[in-house]
Amino acid sequence: MTIPMGRRVRSFIAIPVSDAGIQALNSAVKSLETAIGRHVRWVRPEGIHLTLKFMGDIQSEAAEQVLEALPSVAAEFMPFELAIKGLGAFPNLRRPRVLWAGVNGNLEVLSSLQQAVEDSVERLGLPKEQRHFSPHLTLGRVRRDVDDRQRRNIGEAVLSVATPAVVRWTADTVNLMRTEFDPEGSKHYLVGSASLGSG
């Protein structure tokens, strides 16, 4: 997928989730949809990913620079293991806004990789993320018109749904993605990728 030149591109850097992981998450989402479906905008299964750096709308030239910088960052890290662990919500289950699946595994390497990505992007002149990195897989976003009672019900539903099967996978790739919006929601497209440990 090429970068549309001469305009702004909504972009982010992420680690893809394995097919088995996507299937497990999709099963959990279907259970949640039964209870709270219309109150949440769900992420398409193929769009679920582990975000390392969200850059928002940036110039296409800057996205091209990010893509060129990724291989040198990825080369510093060997592939490592990750796993899906549990369900939750930001900021909390009493007033949920974002529903997520947790991430377990080699979190020390994951954090180091995320910091290396952050530093590389900052050197290109893009803003540094001020929030602490909290690895997660976004499953859906609660609609803005949902009242407090409904939000509590959503939180209770998240607690009651069986957590996804423990699926482990090897993180061996870092992807640059771009997002396009259409009437059905957002769609993510692969711009380019870099393999870990390929220096």
Domain boundaries, the chain: 8-195
CATH label, 8-195, candidates 3.10.20.30, 3.40.50.970, 3.90.1140.10, 3.30.830.10 = 3.90.1140.10
- pLDDT of 191 reads 94
DSSP, collapsed to helix, strand or coil, labels residue 32 as: helix
Specify the 3-state DSSP secondary structure of 131: coil
The two three-digit tokens of residue 87, written as one number: 């369900």
- Alpha-carbon distance 127 to 14, whole Å? 17
* Residue pair 26/47 in contact by the 8 Å Cβ criterion: no
Quote the pLDDT of residue 58. Answer: 94
Of 39, 132, 136, 188, which residue is the catalytic one?
Answer: 136
Q: Catalytic annotation on 132?
A: no
Q: Which residues lie closer than 8 Å to 173 by C-beta, 6 or more apart?
A: 15, 16, 74, 193, 194, 195, 196
**What's the whole-model pTM score?**
0.91
Per-residue pLDDT, 184: 64
Any catalytic annotation for residue 49?
Answer: yes
162/158 Cα distance (integer angstroms): 8
Q: Which two tokens stand for residue 67?
A: 């893509």
Of 39, 49, 132, 188, catalytic = 49
What average pLDDT values come out for the chain (199 residues) when binned by 10 residues? 71 96 91 87 90 94 94 97 94 95 96 97 93 94 93 92 83 94 77 89
